[in-house]
Structure 1
Amino acid sequence: MAGALLDGEPVPADGSLPDAATANIGQNGFAVYVHVPFCASRCGYCDFNTYTASELGGGASRDEYAETVLRELDLAAKVVQPARVDTVFFGGGTPTLLSAGDLGRILEGIDRVWGLSVDAEVTTEANPESVSPEYFRHLRNAGFNRVSLGMQSSASHVLRFLDRVHSAGRAPEAAREAREAGFEHVNLDLIYGTPGETEEDFARSLRTVIDAGVDHVSAYALIVEDGTRMAARMRRGELPYPSDDVAADRYLAAEAALTAAGFEWYEVSNWAKEGGACRHNELYWTNADWWGLGPGAHSHVGGVRWWNVKHPSAYAKRLWEGVSPGHAREVLTDEDRHLEDVMLRVRLREGIALDGVDPAGVRQAVDGGLAVVRDERMILTLEGRLLADAVVRDLLT
């Protein structure tokens, strides 16, 4: 999420929060995020808190992971008691490297300590090669109703560039298997603007996701993060940097193809058919409360944000000693919360209320063709979506 995650104040050993933070917990919704840090291999562009088998030390066994997360959940239940859990999202890493039974055990634990709402959205991310029809059936029987598959591209050479291990046809096949297993909502992720990707490569990827019968598509421009293997290769001149102009062209192609196929954008990088929007992400984007379980996971309750120790071994050690895995936390000021609210809400289809932003910034965006004003809200135009970060800067200065 937005905000500078600098060293903050220590988290108490019991994980307790100020009373003021929990006074209205869940008023705008309550979500649970479960971080699963395991990956079969590391992609060159990835800077997430993930580990391959060779990078893990003792105390970080996949076999013990579900039990460790359940220990954090029991601690969390002593700290907060929301009226219900609206959404659960298993991310990573590759959550589906755990057995469907272990993911189901964690979900059962969340229901036991906090209670899932009757219409709770329960999602897991998955790499296409880590799932099967049988695995999907077990997940569906455990209560999962949404899956997000990392497709990235339908071009084999682009997948190789990104260090993805699945074949070009596996992602749409997995999406169809999920629907056949009874999943109500299926997302496919795309990454565009990879060096070497052609206009036709991306057009073919768009046709593939549309033909797969999914109801949600996320499409992101390739971002080269410092510290990744890809960034090092680009600094050495071994690979070209992504082009902003190409990324803009790809975005316009995605908007045209997905809109023609019955999808609507509801956040700058996300399109869905009716009823297919990711409710979990919508809670993030609208300042709800959430608890993040797992190493490196971030949480937010009532203006207090904290994050767990990053390494799975350190995370497990603390919990098996009965100590909170929280590494540090920060109390957001009113200014912090306003800034983050603007950054996130501007990107949404419903836009942001005029009374929450600088009128001069709104006029500048409207005069420049980057936004329109409708029903006392400022809403980005298509051109504005390409320049959303610039619009946010103008609204905050």
Structure 2
Amino acid sequence: MPAPLPIGDPVPADGSFPPPVRDALASRAEKPFGLYVHIPFCSVRCGYCDFNTYTAEDLGPGASRDSYPDTLIRELEFAASALQAAGAPQRKLRTIFFGGGTPTLLPAEDLARILQRARDLFGVEENAEITTEANPDTVTDESAQTLAEAGFTRVSLGMQSAVPEVLRVLDRTHNPDNVPAAHQAARDAGLQTSLDLIYGTPGESLQDWRTSLQAAIELRPDHISAYSLIIEEGTAMAAKIRRGQLADIDSDDQADKYLLTDELLVEAGYHWYEVSNYSTGESTRSQHNLNYWLDSDWWGAGPGAHSHLAGLRWWNAKHPAAYAQRMHQGVSAGQGRELLDDQAIVLEHLMLRLRIAEGLDIAEFNGLAALLRGGGEPITAATLETLVAEGLIEADAAAASSSWPQGRAVLTVKGRLLADAVTRSLVE
């Protein structure tokens, strides 16, 4: 079942923003602005998934795939009005990401229609990145061409594994043979491609994982994401593990698979730019995901979608029926929100910057540190020297300035495995 949403403060029916956010909007005119579009439909619910997704049987009255595009467009129109009423600077969309669920369960023409309405309402930057996730079984030559003609630039295929038995344990229903076909269809349409993989599935051997990596590399996508499997409470897989039907995940096994991931992808010419993400170069990084890691702003449209604007986070009503009801009433889809305090902002800055290849700018962070500790510089030369000695951060990056410690904290491969521990070291 989908994970529960946080509680938060109530969201006004008109979607208006609190005064600190309205006051901060003008200063964020140069920040990238993105749009996340949630398509919550799946043909089958995977046993490991706790995303806000629904099969046809789950939807019940008040929600349907057929009516969903129009409902979603209502939220885009609501968003444009709310931003205008708040005096937000006019910002064209730099990135648009259709996620789910399986966005390509909707006809490509519907995805194109949603994209066109977003373009009409907000404008889209000339070189914007426009992505849709897709199940390999739902991409054809015709649908890929329709997406490309509509302005999509990128398709992210949920490959997960190339090993049928691993896919079976994950409850994935796609045919592994369709991954190359879907990838080629996207390529032929002129779209960039990304493959999503998952490692650490119960029963998956190191050789199984090598097989999946090699199969992905052989296709030469522009981008590969490799995520460790996380067992979420409330999922079917968690119940199977609890009953002893599946072995629990093993952190040492996952570490070995991450090291193999890095080895094979780097060998094949891919570069890590975030702990779980590799690309062929800067131009093929996921700019939308970088927006999340670099404190940019985005509007999340759809049931359960999360948004961020100048330190304000809010999240929409979770079930498609409840979401649709709010949209048809002309009120905000927001179910709750929170305004991050200074300490939360600084800690997030630290954690998110550490995850990317450019690392954490020590001088920049120390300039923010008074908010965290009431003065002083929390990251000292001694702390950095210890992390370097332990092989957790890159020595050259940390000492990149003669005014030590004014370099960057960039995680090594070992450091990426222990990113949470590195974070704690930098704030203790």
TM band (smaller chain): over 0.9
The aligned amino acid for 2:173 is V
- Comparing 245-254 with 77-86, greater Cα deviation is found at 77-86
Separation in structure 1 between the aligned mates of residue 387 and residue 5 of structure 2, nearest angstrom:
30
Separation in structure 1 between the aligned mates of residue 273 and residue 45 of structure 2, nearest angstrom:
31
Q: Does 1:370 align with 2:373?
A: no
Give the share of equivalent positions with the same residue, in percent.
51
Separation in structure 2 between the aligned mates of residue 165 and residue 206 of structure 1, nearest angstrom:
19
- SS state at 2:30 partner: coil
Separation in structure 2 between the aligned mates of residue 374 and residue 109 of structure 1, nearest angstrom:
49
- SS state at 2:67 partner: helix
Deviations 1:184-205 (A, max 9, x none): x200011011111122211111
- Kept after mapping to 1: 8 A contact 2:36/2:99: yes
Q: Does 1:246 align with 2:253?
A: yes
- SS state at 1:17 partner: coil
Q: Does 1:224 align with 2:231?
A: yes
Q: Does 1:388 align with 2:419?
A: yes
Separation in structure 2 between the aligned mates of residue 363 and residue 16 of structure 1, nearest angstrom:
47
Separation in structure 2 between the aligned mates of residue 196 and residue 306 of structure 1, nearest angstrom:
38
Q: Which residue pairs with 1:109 in the alignment?
A: 117
Deviation, 1:26, is 4.5
The aligned amino acid for 1:336 is A
Q: Does 1:196 align with 2:218?
A: no
Q: Which residue pairs with 2:14 in the alignment?
A: 14
Deviations 1:240-277 (A, max 9, x none): 11111111111111111111111000001000002210
Separation in structure 2 between the aligned mates of residue 22 and residue 332 of structure 1, nearest angstrom:
15
Deviations 1:291-349 (A, max 9, x none): 00000000000111100000000000011011111001111111111111111110100
The equivalent position to 2:379 in structure 1, one of 359, 369, 394, is 359
Deviation, 1:382, is 1.1
- Does the C-alpha gap of structure 1 residues 374 and 214 become closer, same or farther in structure 2, counting only changes over 3 Å? farther
The aligned amino acid for 1:334 is D
The aligned amino acid for 2:174 is H
Deviation, 1:172, is 2.6
The aligned amino acid for 1:269 is S
- SS state at 2:27 partner: coil
Q: Which residue pairs with 1:136 in the alignment?
A: 144
- Kept after mapping to 2: 8 A contact 1:150/1:189: yes
Separation in structure 2 between the aligned mates of residue 169 and residue 196 of structure 1, nearest angstrom:
22
- SS state at 1:227 partner: coil
Separation in structure 1 between the aligned mates of residue 32 and residue 322 of structure 2, nearest angstrom:
31
Deviation, 1:5, is 6.3
- Does the C-alpha gap of structure 1 residues 5 and 17 become closer, same or farther in structure 2, counting only changes over 3 Å? same
Deviation, 1:6, is 3.3
- SS state at 1:23 partner: helix
Deviation, 1:25, is 3.9
In structure 1, list runs of 5 or more residues that go unmatched: none
Separation in structure 1 between the aligned mates of residue 53 and residue 331 of structure 2, nearest angstrom:
23
- SS state at 1:134 partner: helix
Separation in structure 2 between the aligned mates of residue 224 and residue 21 of structure 1, nearest angstrom:
38
The aligned amino acid for 1:182 is G
Deviation, 1:236, is 1.4
Q: Does 1:87 align with 2:95?
A: yes
Separation in structure 2 between the aligned mates of residue 396 and residue 123 of structure 1, nearest angstrom:
36
- Comparing 60-69 with 163-172, greater Cα deviation is found at 163-172
- SS state at 2:66 partner: helix
Separation in structure 2 between the aligned mates of residue 320 and residue 374 of structure 1, nearest angstrom:
57
Q: Does 1:40 align with 2:48?
A: no
Separation in structure 1 between the aligned mates of residue 30 and residue 290 of structure 2, nearest angstrom:
14
The aligned amino acid for 1:44 is G
Separation in structure 2 between the aligned mates of residue 39 and residue 374 of structure 1, nearest angstrom:
49
Separation in structure 2 between the aligned mates of residue 383 and residue 90 of structure 1, nearest angstrom:
33
Query: Which of structure 1's runs of 4+ aligned residues deviate more than 6 A?
Result: none
- Kept after mapping to 2: 8 A contact 1:176/1:213: no
- SS state at 2:37 partner: strand
Separation in structure 2 between the aligned mates of residue 46 and residue 174 of structure 1, nearest angstrom:
23
- SS state at 1:102 partner: helix
Separation in structure 2 between the aligned mates of residue 37 and residue 6 of structure 1, nearest angstrom:
19
- SS state at 1:63 partner: coil
- Kept after mapping to 1: 8 A contact 2:379/2:427: no
- Does the C-alpha gap of structure 1 residues 318 and 213 become closer, same or farther in structure 2, counting only changes over 3 Å? same
Q: Does 1:120 align with 2:128?
A: yes
The equivalent position to 1:268 in structure 2, one of 264, 267, 275, is 275
Q: Does 1:187 align with 2:181?
A: no
Q: Which residue pairs with 1:285 in the alignment?
A: 293
Q: Does 1:163 align with 2:185?
A: no
TM-score for both structures, normalised by structure 2: 0.89
TM-score for both structures, normalised by structure 1: 0.96
Separation in structure 2 between the aligned mates of residue 65 and residue 5 of structure 1, nearest angstrom:
21
- Kept after mapping to 1: 8 A contact 2:203/2:247: no
Separation in structure 2 between the aligned mates of residue 44 and residue 5 of structure 1, nearest angstrom:
20
In structure 2, list runs of 5 or more residues that go unmatched: 367-377, 401-406
Separation in structure 2 between the aligned mates of residue 5 and residue 330 of structure 1, nearest angstrom:
12
Q: Which residue pairs with 2:265 in the alignment?
A: 258
- SS state at 1:380 partner: coil
- Kept after mapping to 2: 8 A contact 1:50/1:92: yes
Q: Does 1:151 align with 2:175?
A: no
Separation in structure 2 between the aligned mates of residue 84 and residue 207 of structure 1, nearest angstrom:
39
The Cα RMSD (Å) is: 1.4
Deviations 1:134-190 (A, max 9, x none): 11011111100101000000000000000000122222321121101110x200011
- SS state at 1:70 partner: helix
Deviations 1:17-73 (A, max 9, x none): 132243334432101000000000000000000000101012211111111011111
The equivalent position to 1:73 in structure 2, one of 76, 79, 83, is 76
- SS state at 1:214 partner: coil
